[in-house]
Chain A
Amino acid sequence: MARKNRQVQTDEPVVLMQHVNKWFGQFHVLRDINLRVAKGERIVVCGPSGSGKSTLIRCLNRLEQHQQGDIHVHGIELNNDVKNIDEIRREVGMVFQHFNLFPHLSILENCMLAPIWVRKTPRAEAEKTAMHFLTRVKIPEQAHKYPGQLSGGQQQRVAIARALCMQPQLMLFDEPTSALDPEMIKEVLDTMVELAEDGMTMICVTHEMGFARKVADRVIFMDEGQIIEQNEPEAFFSAPKSDRTKLFLSQILGH
């Protein structure tokens, strides 16, 4: 895990989506999605609300099922085989908008749950790992509290630590700062920036354009279930190609 490793290896993509289509009933929510994410790449996905961003990343760990096309995560094909799904979920961490911490478990127990039951890590080791990652997100002193006793920003950092405890190959973020009060957004973004600098492969759905500028290798713009545009952040922000992107950027940047 070399810091600032911007070298993108192209041999084996962590995520490969080919001609993926998905419908909710009659509604065609993902239209011919093609996406390739290399190891160590940091992708920011943005786009208007309802454009299918959440659905896209939720298809990568089978929280939603796609109906057409192929998805490979970490080289494993995502199909109806439970074994494959379980294997993929072990390698993919996810952070949700509303944290989704388990309120009946302490912070430490939240972080130890999956390693113990999914990875069959011995308890002591799981606790060590959990404390390591809680220290990394800077809240080791809260380990024995319950989620309900923490602020939103702290809860989201715990959620990040919880996902990291499984030592995933890929992290998915679904608007991790949208439910937070303004003064807490920074602490979560800082945590994510550090994670990115450590070389984690990340796909973030976010409207934090500062974050996108700082860490993204690529920004993907979605609208009405399609990928409309993708580019390096500088080019994406300074010279958007499509009109929809321009409109979206003008709205989100508030000019």
Chain B
Amino acid sequence: MRQTDKSDPRSTSSISSDAYVRETEAPYLPPPPSEVGIKGWLYNNIFQSMSDFSSPAASMRSLLVAMFTVFVFYFFATQLYGLVDFALLSAVWSDADGVKRQACWTVEQGGSLPEGWHGACWPYIFAKTKFILFGAYPLEDLWRVKTTYLVGSLLLVWVLIEPLPYRKLASLLLLVVFPMFATLMLTGGGFGYSQTTVGLYTLLGLALITLRRLGIAGRLTGVFSDLASVSGIAGWTLIFIAAFMAIIGHDFGLTNIDTRDWGGLLITLVVAITAIVASLPLGILLALGRRSQMPIARTLSIVFIEFWRGVPLITVLFMASVMIPLFMPEGVNFDSLLRALIGVTLWQSAYMAEVIRGGLQAIDKGQYEAADAMGLTYWQSMRLVILPQALKHVLPGIVNTVISVFKDTSLVSIVGIFDLLGATQSTLADAAWSSPVQSPTGYLVVASVFFFFCFGMSRYSIYLEKKLDRGH
């Protein structure tokens, strides 16, 4: 290729000339070696910034960059080694003699490990695993939690993994049936709600849904047709609540486990998942409400969002645990976990609403107009046209708040509910395992578990973003 170029007199002679008209086709060449392969990658990503020695200033800069690079590599390597060494290489893995804390003591402290030893004390974690994962949940009933986990994760996998069939059905099971199942399994059910209440809710729900049907059929006018458009959602919510009450009200013969005995990862997952799953639809409604033309809906949404966003979560939790009982009639025992759940969910939905509102604002006016022009109703155009795009736009923001609330659930320890962190912390008080490495080991476990879940969510959102990218 190069030879043909050279043999063409014009291509060499006219390089300096301004007006150059090519007479032969320019060849398609492979990229220079500095652009491809490992060498190219290393050059582009690491060495490019430190290979300029053309002037004293440039050499200086290259040297500085080189030193900084070496330092960063060194720092990372030692930190990583320190972690691996603590968690794996130097760690004590078993307590074969059953000496508990002495298994993790150095000679100086009265144990058998060498002087200056520093490593994780895994036997302590093994001994406390049940407590860290489930709190004081009775051992003989642990199968109920495990079944719930199993069913939940199977459904989740079914929903999340692309090629599996009936994913819509699975989402329905996961979002509607599973919460009832989980509540029943974890609490034991048998609360015996009065049948009149359940019946009343069902009837009211059915009435609202009928109103909706009439609204669709166009038999209603004016205010009623506006009301009809929201009554469908309200109706189904009521039916859901009625079904929920019917199921956890029925006695299936399971022992009741007080939520005060729940703890550890179980609490973290219950609080986080409830808050995440419930705050998304609530946040969507609030965001739509805030942008709505109806003054009442808009004002209510703004007040709600600004109130909950203006209060720190700790305050919300205190209010939930201290204030709500004050307003309750004498003798009504409102479960403390339930109160915290409601508090975290409402607080989270205010944040979710603002993230989603950002997405709604990014949608071009033409999209609303096109949807209106083809005759879609408000809810149809939101569900089919606007929200899918808006939610996609703000997926990183949604995942951000989700991850953040997952970690914020730790704050429930403040009102005496022992989540993963709280439960682990309380095992630190056990003198039978007391050693200098006890708390580092415990916190390492807590951090790793949180990291596992949060990193997982982050990766899934990246996968989702790629999948939803429609090339525009």
A residues apposed to B, CB below 8 Å:
61-63, 81-83, 86, 89-90, 92-94, 96, 98, 100-104, 113-114, 117-118, 146-149, 162-163, 166
The answer on a CB contact under 8 Å between B369 and A96 is yes
Chain A residue at minimum C-beta to C-beta distance from B220: A83
Contact B373 A102 (CB under 8 A): no
Chain B proximity of A67: nearest CB distance (Å): 17
- A83 pairs with B375, CB closer than 8 A: no
Name 23 interchain pairs, CB-CB below 8 A, sorted by A.
Answer: A61-B372, A63-B369, A82-B225, A89-B373, A89-B374, A89-B375, A93-B373, A94-B370, A94-B373, A94-B374, A96-B370, A100-B366, A100-B367, A100-B369, A102-B385, A104-B392, A113-B374, A117-B376, A117-B380, A118-B375, A146-B470, A147-B472, A166-B375
Q: Is the CB of A114 within 8 A of B218?
A: no
Complex formed: what's the CA distance from A251 to B374 in Å? Answer: 35
The answer on a CB contact under 8 Å between A114 and B374 is yes
Interface flag for B259 (CB, 8 Å): no
Q: Measured between alpha carbons, how far is A166 from B364 in the docked complex, in Å?
A: 23
Besides the known contacts A86-B375, A103-B389, A162-B374, 19 further A-B residue pairs in the complex with CB atoms under 8 A apart:
A62-B372, A63-B372, A86-B377, A94-B374, A96-B369, A100-B367, A103-B472, A104-B388, A104-B392, A113-B376, A113-B384, A114-B374, A114-B375, A117-B376, A117-B384, A146-B471, A147-B470, A148-B472, A166-B375
In the complex, residue of chain B having the shortest beta-carbon distance to the beta carbon of A84: B218
Contact with A along B196-214 (1 / 0, CB 8 A): 0000000000000000000
What distance in Å separates the Cβ of A181 from its nearest Cβ neighbour in chain B? 17
Choose among A62, A102, A149 the residue that contacts B370 (Cβ–Cβ < 8 A): A102
Q: List the A residue with the shortest CB-CB distance to B373.
A: A94
B13 within 8 A of A: no
Min CB distance A102 to B, Å, is 6
A82 to B468 Cα, complex, angstroms: 34
Which residues of the partner chain A approach B375 to less than 8 Å between Cβ atoms?
A: 86, 89-90, 114, 118, 166
- The complex places the Cα of A61 from the Cα of B370 at a distance, in Å, of 11
Return the chain B residue nearest A147 by Cβ: B472
B367 touches A163 (CB 8 A): no
Contact with A along B206-230 (1 / 0, CB 8 A): 0000000000001001000100000
Instruction: Say whether, besides A83-B221, A117-B384, A102 and B367 are in contact (CB < 8 Å).
Output: yes
Contacts of B389 in A (CB 8 A): 102-104
CA distance A89 to B364 in the complex (A): 20
* Residue ranges of B at the interface with A (Cβ–Cβ < 8 Å): 218, 221, 225, 364, 366-367, 369-377, 380, 384-385, 388-389, 392, 468, 470-472
Instruction: Tell me the complex Cα distance, A81–B380, Å.
Output: 18
The interface residues of chain A lying within 8 Å CB-to-CB of B384 are: 113, 117
Q: Which 6 A-B pairs have the closest CB atoms?
A: A148-B472, A89-B375, A100-B370, A100-B366, A114-B374, A94-B373
Contacts of A90 in B (CB 8 A): 375
Chain B hits for A62, CB < 8 A: 372
Provide the bound-state CA to CA distance between A81 and B220, in Å.
10
Cα–Cα, bound, A152→B392 (Å):
24
Give the interface centre of B388, B470, B471 by most chain A CB atoms within 10 Å.
B470
In the complex, the chain A residue whose C-beta lies closest to that of B470 is A146
Q: How far, in whole Å, are A93 and B372 apart by their CA atoms in the complex?
A: 11
A163 touches B470 (CB 8 A): no
Contact of A149 among B221, B468, B471 (CB under 8 A): B471
- In whole angstroms, what is the CA distance A146 to B107 when docked? 70
Chain A residues with Cβ below 8 Å from B371 are: 102
Q: Which residues of A contact B364 (CB under 8 A)?
A: 98, 100
Chain B neighbourhood of A163, CB < 8 A: 374
Find B470's partner among A92, A104, A114, A166 (CB 8 Å cutoff): A104
Q: Is the CB of A92 within 8 A of B471?
A: no
A162 to B370, CA, bound (A): 10
Chain B residue contacts of A83, Cβ below 8 A: 218, 221, 225
Interface centre among B221, B370, B389 (most CB of A within 10 A): B370
Pair A118/B374 contact, Cβ less than 8 Å: yes
Q: Which of B373, B377, B471 has the most CB of A within 10 A?
A: B373
CA distance A146 to B467 in the complex (A): 13
Chain B residues lying within 8 Å of A118, measured Cβ to Cβ, are: 374-376, 380
Distance between Cα atoms of A63 and B367 in the complex (Å):
12
A89 and B472 contact, CB distance less than 8 A: no
Complex-state Cα separation, A149 to B471, whole angstroms: 7
Q: Name the distance in Å between B293's Cβ and chain A's nearest Cβ.
A: 12
The interface residues of chain B lying within 8 Å CB-to-CB of A113 are 374, 376, 384-385
Chain A positions within 8 Å of B218 at CB level = 83, 86
B67 nearest CB across to chain A (Å): 46
Do A92 and B225 contact each other (CB < 8 Å), given the known contacts A117-B380, A149-B471? no
Is A89 within 8 A of B372, CB to CB? Answer: yes
Cα A81 to Cα B359 in complex, Å, equals 31
Interfacial chain B residues near A101, Cβ < 8 Å? 370
State the CA gap A83–B370 with chains docked (Å).
18
Instruction: Say whether A98 contacts B374, CB under 8 Å.
Output: no
Residue from the list B370, B388, B471 in contact with A148, Cβ < 8 A = B471
Which of A62, A96, A100 counts the most B-chain CB atoms under 10 A from its CB? A100
Residues on B with beta carbons closer than 8 Å to the beta carbon of A114: 374-376
Residues of B within 8 A of A94 (CB): 370, 373-374
**Closest CB-CB distance, A90 to chain B, in whole Å?**
5
Q: Given A82-B225, A83-B221, A117-B384, are A61 and B373 neighbors across the interface (CB < 8 Å)?
A: yes
- Chain B nearest Cβ from A108, distance in angstroms: 14
User: Complex formed: what's the CA distance from A146 to B375 in Å?
Assistant: 22
Instruction: Indicate the member of A89, A98, A104 with the most B CB atoms within 10 Å.
Output: A104
Q: Given A81-B221, A104-B389, A166-B375 in contact, is the A98-B472 Cβ separation under 8 Å?
A: no
